[in-house]
Amino acid sequence: MSTQPTAPQNVETRSIASDSTAHLGVRTVEATHKVLGKYTKWALFISLGLAAYIYSLDGTTTYTYLQIAASYMDHHSLIGTITVAQTIIVAVGKPIIAKIADVRSRGLAYVLVLLFYVLGYIVIASAKNIETIAGGKILYAIGYTGLQLLTQIVIADITTLQWRSLMSALMSLPFVINVFIGGKISASMIRKGPDGWRWGYGMFAILVPAALAPLIITLLWAERKAKRLNLIVTRNEDRPFISRLKEGLNKLNIFGLLLLGTSVALILLPMTLAENARDGWNNPSMIAMIVVGFVVFPAFVFWESKANFPVVPLHFFKNRTFLIAAAVGFFDFISFYISYTYLFSFVYIVKPWSLENMTYFSYTQTVSLTVFAIVAGIIMRFTHRAKPLLVIGLSIRLLGCGLMIHSRGAQASDAEIVWSQLLQGIGGGFAAIASQTSAQASVPHIDVAMITASVLLITEIGGAVGSAIAGAIWTHMMPDRLAAHLPFVPLADRQVLYGSILAASTFPRDSPVRIGAIQAYDDVMKIMSIVATVVAVVPLFLSLLMPNWYLGEQQNAVDNTDLKGERVANPDVDGTTGGETAAAQREADENSSTNVDEKVRTAI
């Protein structure tokens, strides 16, 4: 690794610790920019690319394993429940990871993420029942969401607004490659038999540490060198460990996140569990969970109003860009997960495709999202605006959802159903990158990590809601639809078909049992597609209210400084172009700076 510049005289030796508007993690990032030479910067980018690659390889293989593992254990109907639980952990884990990255360092946050990632996959690979798989998924979810979030935070740290969308999108480029590689890997693992999925999960317990090691080493090396050159002055390090630990836990607001996660889980999980519970919705446990969930939520709101370090900083709720970005993500993910949670199961029964082709289809939306997020990044680089792409993207996404209502049938052409996924991916690629960049543009550097985490927190809760709705539709409708289309099949056998996609797939496609199963799946997917389309209308209308920030050479559009902290031009603020009026932008700039200074002075 290059250590250029090697001598302190080649480095700006003024410590930035005196900047009262920066947490230790942010100050550390700014300091490491001063010690990264030409080769170490390339090492950082290559390391980020390697982390992105392993993240995408995971995402393009393990999705299918859960369907198979749950079917082998005769609990396929619980996929919705497991997905809800995992999504809740993914959501509430993001603020924790962001705060660790802010109050300590990006490198330390990556180390913690890696530990949860590996531990989760070890638990899943060795699971003997569906409950253990669910527990492993929760541990893994912390690592997976942390890796996703930290990559976006580091990209925001080292890029200006005009390049950020493109760089963020390029981090997803490995998905395009891994859809084909991952499809072959997952298919080969599934063909190994009952334990093939275990090897599919277990391999990542080895691959992930190997892939993340260069990135962690680069970050920790840069942080250590910055400290050695006195570019980072740590405060209160001489206090007792217990005192510092209590302060750290207070900043993480574990109790607030616990209240939020508990409330959301208790409200949503009964939606997927009720049909399988004794007496269904008449089971007192189902009602009790929902009641307690609604009681806990006001307790969470009250706690947050008094907390020194709330889960979502309260001043974000005065930020129109944040509110719209979070709401757009929330409803968009509800729509996405309603139609996607059981999509692989649907094509597994309905379509006469090979395992590889089923896997390719499952990731059609991911590939198109990735490619068109890059296209959106290029467009934003030259137009310097995000709002038009957000509106266009959500319009295309709505079209794709609507097409799915017609194309989901067994008799629909393969091209039609693939196009429904392509359109959703094209629109999603435009919308996701435009929304995230707009949110990051609306706050100073100190808040970039937390606003990214907060938007994703609310977005992921939307995903949990969508999975819960999908699970509720599936568990409520599928037994009835199987009974309607397979009245000649005994109840016990229909329960086997309901509990495992593998059981239904063993019948030839022209057999009465398989035809009835296809018709049942067709009925259920029709309802899911209609609901998903209706929900997809909401984010489109909300996007019309999004501010149209100028994306230029600044780290953010509030303080309008570059990565070195020097002021740069912003036509909106300088009054030379349209968009937000210059007066409004100046007022927002001043208010944001005042709020941040006040907040940090109070916190420090």
pLDDT digit string (tens) for 19-68? Answer: 333 466 566 666 666 666 667 777 777 888 888 888 888 877 876 777 77
**The dihedral sign for the CA sequence 89, 91, 94, 96:** negative
Residues near 297 by beta carbon (within 8 Å), at least 6 away in sequence: 263, 267
* 510 pLDDT higher than 90: no
Q: Does position 593 have pLDDT exceeding 60, yes or no?
A: no
Distance CA 371, CA 386 (A): 17
Rounded distance between C-alpha atoms, residue 22 and residue 33, angstroms: 15
Q: Quick one: pLDDT band at residue 238, thresholds 50, 70, 90?
A: low
Cis peptide before 298 (omega within 30 of 0): no
pLDDT digits (tens, 9 = 90+) for 113-144: 889 888 988 888 888 887 788 888 888 888 88
pLDDT at 515 over 50: yes
- Nearest-CA neighbor of 502 among 62, 63, 70? 70
pLDDT score, position 235: 57
Using the predicted structure, report yes or no on whether residue 260 has a pLDDT greater than 90.
Answer: no
User: Is residue 267 very low, low, confident or very high in pLDDT (cuts 50, 70, 90)?
Assistant: confident
User: Which pLDDT tens digit goes with each residue over 274-295?
Assistant: 555 566 666 777 778 888 888 8
Q: Which of 95, 70, 93 shows the shortest CA–CA distance to 83?
A: 70
Domain ranges of the chain: 22-230, 253-308, 313-550, 571-602
Residue 161 reports pLDDT greater than 70: yes
Matching residue, tokens 């990559």: 151
In this chain, the answer to whether the domains covering 22-230 and 313-550 adopt an identical fold is yes
C-alpha distances out from residue 210 to 50, 150, 168, 202, 257, Å:
10, 17, 22, 14, 31
Q: What is the arithmetic mean of pLDDT over 164-185?
A: 81
> What mean pLDDT is reported for the chain?
78
Residue with tokens 């230790």: 24
Position 180 pLDDT exceeds 80: no
Mean pLDDT of 312-331: 90
Q: Which residue has the higher pLDDT, 461 or 586?
A: 461
Please state, in angstroms and as integers, the Cα–Cα distance from residue 346 to each residue in 62, 338, 495, following that order: 17, 13, 17
| DSSP symbol at 567 | B
Res. 585: pLDDT tops 60: no
Output the pLDDT for position 271. 67
In whole angstroms, what is the distance from residue 65 CA to residue 71 CA? Answer: 10
Residues 6 or more apart whose Cβ sits within 8 Å of residue 230:
13, 15
Query: How many other β-carbons are positioned within 10 Å of the β-carbon of residue 144?
Result: 26
| Rounded Cα gap, residues 579 and 385, in angstroms | 9
Residues 430, 396: contact at Cβ < 8 Å? yes
- Arch. (CATH architecture) of 313-550: Up-down Bundle (1.20)
8 A C-beta contact, residue 64 and residue 186: yes
Give residue 258's region: left, alpha or beta (phi > 0; psi -120 to 50): alpha
- Is the Cβ–Cβ distance between 89 and 109 less than 8 Å? no
Instruction: Look up residue 64 and give its two tokens.
Output: 């299918």
pLDDT over 60 at 557, yes or no: yes
Neighbours of 472 (CB within 10 A): 20
pLDDT at 601: 36
Higher pLDDT, 145 or 78: 145
The number of CA neighbours under 13 Å toward the Cβ of 524 is: 34
> What are 477-499's pLDDT values in tens digits?
888 998 999 888 888 888 888 87
State what percent of residues in the chain have pLDDT above 90: 13
- The CATH fold assigned to 22-230 is Growth Hormone; Chain: A; (1.20.1250)
Q: Measured between alpha carbons, how far is residue 502 from residues 70, 74, 184, 391, 523 in Å?
A: 10, 9, 19, 41, 19
Quick one: angle between helices 448-485 and 130-158, nearest 10? 140
